[in-house]
Amino acid sequence: MLDARAPEESAASEPSAPPEAGSARREAVRGQGRIFEVFRRERKGQPFQHAGSVTAPNERFAEIYAREQYGRRQESVALWLVPRGSVSEIDEFPDEFEMKYRRVDGYSIKARLHEARERAGTLGMAPGAAE
Amino acid sequence: MTDTRTKEFLEYVQAGGQVETGDWMPDEYRARLIKFIEMHGNSELMGVLPERDWILRAPTLQRKLALTAKIQDEVGHAQLIYRVVEDLGKPRSACLDDLVAGKAKFHNVFHYPTRTWGDVGVIAWLVDAAAIVSQKALLKCSYAPYARIMKKICWEESFHILHGRDVILALVTGTDEQFGLVQEALDRWWEPLMHFHGNPIPPDEDPMFVWRIKSQGNEDARQQFLDGYVPQIRELGLEIPDPALRKDEETGTWLYTEPDWEKLRAVVTGHGPASAERLAFRRLSREHVAWVERVVLAEAA
């Protein structure tokens, strides 16, 4: 099936090509307009979450389609529509120095706490001090 | 498919790893995803036709509204699913072209006619139940955008099953004639239901399982369906038309008469009792709405 694709169709198979590769191409689905990413809020107070996407010739149609596909059954209290090309993605977070001092797993206080309690003579009072 | 990158990819998905649209993926994986997901989209779209026949004939206004809502859901599923296929590289218009040209498949159960209101109940209850077994297993699909869409679909399907069960319960508690409608429909639908999850190919030989597009084998799915629904069917006093059907209490597996797998192959390749009629209808409606598409797209220009 894939082998039979015409060259211009295979362009659409690289929707995540970097923007410099041509964001217009990235957004377009041949013959159907633009791709809009849909974010939905399920209940008040909750964050918007990515739900999927719709293709539409313009924003007005995108709104109609998104409402129909993501809000028809009262499953959302609000929707955000964002043209795919307007989304900037960052997906690399190098951590060469393993800065563990910024994380809870960077600390091991068990031994030190034991020593401190011993010194203060409060070992018996501490929870779980039975050992 | 044995280069290092592909091998690493395979190990990744087999260990439960998930893939996003923009990630690198082997060509074979992409091709199989498109074929599988496209068939799912086609099935949602073709699946509304057997039920559509009964909107005008539904016995009460409440049933008419529920059936219409169910059909609206299924078309919505087709929209969501075709969108996933588009991001993989095949435009929706190409999917629809292939569908009406008879080049693409759709699920076996949608190649059969709906003769009575009993059929509508059996479809909404048991066909949807069989479908939800498959779809729940797709929540773990290695292709994440598809898995996420499946969450929404499963949520909507649960109403369909309940609606179907309610239709069935109303009929089996009615007159003898009404009970008979359900039994007669079940007699006709049992074979397609046994075909539904496919032939019992071992998971390790099923490319869809190997790539973790599906997370369970065909026979596992069928066993799960039988386990959940045979007792529910029998408790209503309905008879399943397979004298060999029973659960082996020792192994916990269901034994049944081997379905005719050649027949399944014939049905899904367009030789089912209603295949030609359904495709002709889909072709006709595509022609009828073509002007709408043109108007909408003119707005984009």
Report the residue from B21, B149, B299 with minimal CB separation from A15.
B21
For the record, the structure tokens of B89 come out as 């590289």
Residue A106 in domain: no
Q: Tell me how many domains chain B contains.
A: 1
Residue A38 in domain: yes
- For A77, the domain range is 26-86
Q: What is the DSSP string of B241-298?
A: S-TT-EEETTTTEEE-PPP-HHHHHHIIIIISTTHHHHHHHHHHHHHHHHHHHHHHHH
Residue A14 in domain: no
Q: How far, in Å, CA of A13 to CA of B88, rounded? A: 5
**Model's pTM, two decimal places?**
0.86
- Of the candidates A48, A66, A70, which has an alpha carbon nearest to the alpha carbon of residue A56? A66
Q: What is the ipTM of this complex?
A: 0.86
Q: What is the DSSP string of B189-250?
A: HHHHHHHTT-----GGG-HHHHTTSSSS-HHHHHHHHHHHHHHHHHTTT---S-TT-EEETT
CATH number reported for the structural domain that contains residue B170 in this entry:
1.20.1260.10
pLDDT at B10 over 60: yes
From B79, which residue of chain A is nearest by alpha-carbon distance? A69
- For B45, the domain range is 4-300
Supply the mean pLDDT for chain B: 95
Look at B156 and A73 and tell me if their CB atoms are within 8 Å: yes
Look at A15 and B155 and tell me if their CB atoms are within 8 Å: no
For the record, the structure tokens of B40 come out as 């799912």
- pLDDT tens-digit readout, B103-128: 999 999 999 999 999 999 999 999 99
Chain A residues bordering chain B (beta-carbon distance below 8 Å) = 1-3, 5, 9-10, 12-17, 29-35, 51-55, 57-58, 61, 65, 68-69, 72-73, 75
- pLDDT tens-digit readout, A102-120: 888 888 899 999 999 999 9
Report the residue from B23, B86, B299 with minimal CB separation from A57.
B299
Q: Tell me how many domains chain A contains.
A: 1
